[in-house]
Amino acid sequence: MEDINQKRAESAQVILRMTGIGKSFLGIRVLRGIDLSATAGEVHAVVGENGAGKSTLMKILAGVHQPDEGTVEIGGETRSFAHPVEAQRAGVAIIYQEFNLLPERSVADNVFLGREPTRRGLVDRAAMDEATSRLLDELDEHSFGPRALVKDLSVAQQQVVEIVKALSVDARIVVMDEPTAALAEHEVELLYRLIRRLQGRGIAVLYISHRLREVFDLADRVTVLKDGAHVATVPAKDVTTGELVKMMVGRELDAYFPAKAEESAIGEVRLTVRGGGNGKLDGIDLELRAGEIVGVAGLQGSGRSSLVKAIFGAEPFTRGEMTPARPASVRAGVAAGIGLVTEDRKAEGLALNQSVRDNALLVARAIGHRSRTTVSDLLRRVQLAPPRQETEVKYLSGGNQQKVVLAKWLTVSPKVLLFDEPTRGVDVGAKAAIHDLMRELANAGTAILMISSELPELIGMSDRIVVLRDGRVAGQLPAGSSEEAVMALAAADGVAA
């Protein structure tokens, strides 16, 4: 590995070299001996499970934390940043998962926030607009202009604003933290193009993602971290997904997805929708049976989330028939035995300041259900580790938080469980645990409907795939359909609905 590192590093101009980085918080070592380098025009992926130390390492690069040991060299110069502004001046730009944009201000205002060009003491808006639109042009982005308000932009467009911001400070190193987490499938392509443009400008891109497919699509090299230590740095073309996963979790996740349902295991009909519609959906026909996992595919805006919210009663159907009776409210949905694991667990799934226990019991308490299982049994079932009941959920990793959301629904043993992006922002190990649990629930007779933007997950988990387009069912596909077939149906390229 060392050899490859050195050869690559010497062949191109090294922009970033972090050597022997170590960091402890309150005497607990979270990073030790981490080496990471990046060359001009390189996309360097950093992967690892949650808690592996990726965020801490990036925060050290960004000047948020100071390393206890090791050095950071940028452009051959050793630097130490006492403050994020210093890192920014040195050419490090970080695009966090949650964007740092002011929704009520214009694109140009955001790009130049805090360093507005002035003319005779006043902010020179013309100069700001001009510089911003020049950068937008360079990125080939014409769908919005410098005076558009950020709140009116899509998530993908907001990401472009973040990138423009990075370019406007002449960043040489751009760190992207899970950039596709909030993007729809077709927007991911656009992001790829943007990243290639950054590469073309000689910028080193550090790419953090849980989605290994993106890593293979984009990265030149991959650095794997595990438990705060450096596992390996390898050229992306020299490893397979399986090898990477093994490096990340330290074990082989051979059966990436649990086995599909047997024909005989699929039982009675648990839910039917006939001609269901509301403001966002129309003519939805759907049937869910006990024991099966039905995947829902579709582009952003195709009505996937609206569908599960309608079935659940959060944004009820106003037309059509449903068995059990169309729920008019969430409580009616819960009473009818329907549960929803929401897409955004922090905003919609959990009360973050409350304990694991209080969150796990929230649904049961809300509907006055006296569960027979104890909380510790529940936590064992969802494999929460460590199973501490009194910890506030905000301190848990994404995977553990999702397990708590699941536990919340298990208390009332729902007949139908709806999942909206069940493993978004969840590390590989927890992902497998959640997949196993979903299959286990199905085998025990729960009917499961699952939305996923990650096609491998959708195909790997589903016994049947329903594809939505423009609020309607565009078609159904059997288990094991190809990604191309799903995308073709979702985007209506040639295939009739």
319 binds other proteins (CB under 8 A): no
Q: Is the dihedral angle over the CA atoms 182, 183, 185, 188 positive or is it negative?
A: negative
Separation CA 290–CA 6 (nearest Å): 56
| Binding span for other proteins by CB under 8 A among 281-289, 353-361, 375-383, 459-467 | 353-361
What is the H or E stretch that residue 180 is in? Answer: none
Write the burial class of residue 413 (CB in 10 Å: 0-12 exposed, 13-18 middle, 19+ buried): middle
Asked if 334 and 409 count as a contact pair (C-beta separation under 8 A), the reply is: no
Separation CA 261–CA 138 (nearest Å): 50
Separation CA 119–CA 331 (nearest Å): 59
Helix 155-168 to helix 185-200 angle (10° resolution) is 10
Give the end-to-end CA distance of the chain in Å, rounded to a whole number: 50
Dig out the tokens for 421 from the structure. Answer: 């992006």
Measured from the CB atom, the residue of 36 and 364 that comes closer to other proteins is 364
Q: Least distance from C-beta 262 to other proteins, angstroms?
A: 33
Measured from the CB atom, the residue of 180 and 342 that comes closer to other proteins is 342
Judged by CB under 8 A, the residue of 362, 406, 432, 451 near other proteins is 362
331 binds other proteins (CB under 8 A): yes
Measured from the CB atom, the residue of 56 and 168 that comes closer to other proteins is 56
Judged by CB under 8 A, the residue of 163, 206, 208, 330 near other proteins is 330
Strands 464-469 and 472-478: antiparallel
Measured from the CB atom, the residue of 141 and 343 that comes closer to other proteins is 343
Spatial CB neighbours of 101, under 8 Å, sequence gap ≥ 6: 110, 150, 158, 161, 162
- HSE-up (13 A, CA, CB side) for residue 141: 27
Judged by CB under 8 A, the residue of 394, 440, 444, 497 near other proteins is 394
Q: Least distance from C-beta 216 to other proteins, angstroms?
A: 24
66 binds other proteins (CB under 8 A): no
How big is the CA angle at 167 (ends 166 and 170), to the nearest 5 degrees?
95
342 binds other proteins (CB under 8 A): yes
Separation CA 418–CA 437 (nearest Å): 14
Judged by CB under 8 A, the residue of 9, 253, 352, 491 near other proteins is 352
CA nearest 291: which of 456, 402, 417, 162?
417
Asked if 346 and 334 count as a contact pair (C-beta separation under 8 A), the reply is: no
Q: Which amino acid belongs to residue 116?
A: E
Measured from the CB atom, the residue of 29 and 89 that comes closer to other proteins is 29
367 binds other proteins (CB under 8 A): yes
Measured from the CB atom, the residue of 57 and 465 that comes closer to other proteins is 57
CA nearest 30: which of 16, 44, 50?
50
| Binding span for other proteins by CB under 8 A among 124-132, 297-305, 333-341, 467-475 | 333-341
Measured from the CB atom, the residue of 59 and 246 that comes closer to other proteins is 59
Separation CA 284–CA 281 (nearest Å): 7
Write the burial class of residue 121 (CB in 10 Å: 0-12 exposed, 13-18 middle, 19+ buried): exposed
Write the burial class of residue 493 (CB in 10 Å: 0-12 exposed, 13-18 middle, 19+ buried): exposed
Q: Least distance from C-beta 314 to other proteins, angstroms?
A: 6
For 436, list phi and psi in degrees, rounded to 5: -60, -45
315 binds other proteins (CB under 8 A): no
Measured from the CB atom, the residue of 229 and 352 that comes closer to other proteins is 352
423 binds other proteins (CB under 8 A): no
361 binds other proteins (CB under 8 A): yes
397 binds other proteins (CB under 8 A): yes
325 binds other proteins (CB under 8 A): no
Max Cα-Cα span within the chain: 79
Measured from the CB atom, the residue of 27 and 76 that comes closer to other proteins is 27
Separation CA 105–CA 128 (nearest Å): 13
Separation CA 30–CA 24 (nearest Å): 5
400 binds other proteins (CB under 8 A): yes
| Binding span for other proteins by CB under 8 A among 169-177, 246-254, 386-394, 441-449 | 386-394
Measured from the CB atom, the residue of 110 and 400 that comes closer to other proteins is 400
Measured from the CB atom, the residue of 251 and 370 that comes closer to other proteins is 370
Kindly identify the residues of this chain, within the stretch 195-224, that bind other proteins according to CB under 8 A.
none
378 binds other proteins (CB under 8 A): no
Kindly identify the residues of this chain, within the stretch 40-59, that bind other proteins according to CB under 8 A.
50-51, 55-56
Q: Least distance from C-beta 423 to other proteins, angstroms?
A: 16
353 binds other proteins (CB under 8 A): yes
| Binding span for other proteins by CB under 8 A among 349-357, 371-379, 435-443, 469-477 | 349-357
122 binds other proteins (CB under 8 A): no
Judged by CB under 8 A, the residue of 74, 340, 448, 466 near other proteins is 340
Spatial CB neighbours of 446, under 8 Å, sequence gap ≥ 6: 290, 291, 414, 415, 416, 417
Judged by CB under 8 A, the residue of 3, 11, 28, 372 near other proteins is 28
Q: Which residues bind other proteins (CB under 8 A)?
A: 25-26, 28, 30, 50-51, 55-56, 312, 314, 330-331, 333-334, 340, 342, 347-354, 358-359, 361-363, 365-368, 386, 388, 391, 394-398, 400, 408
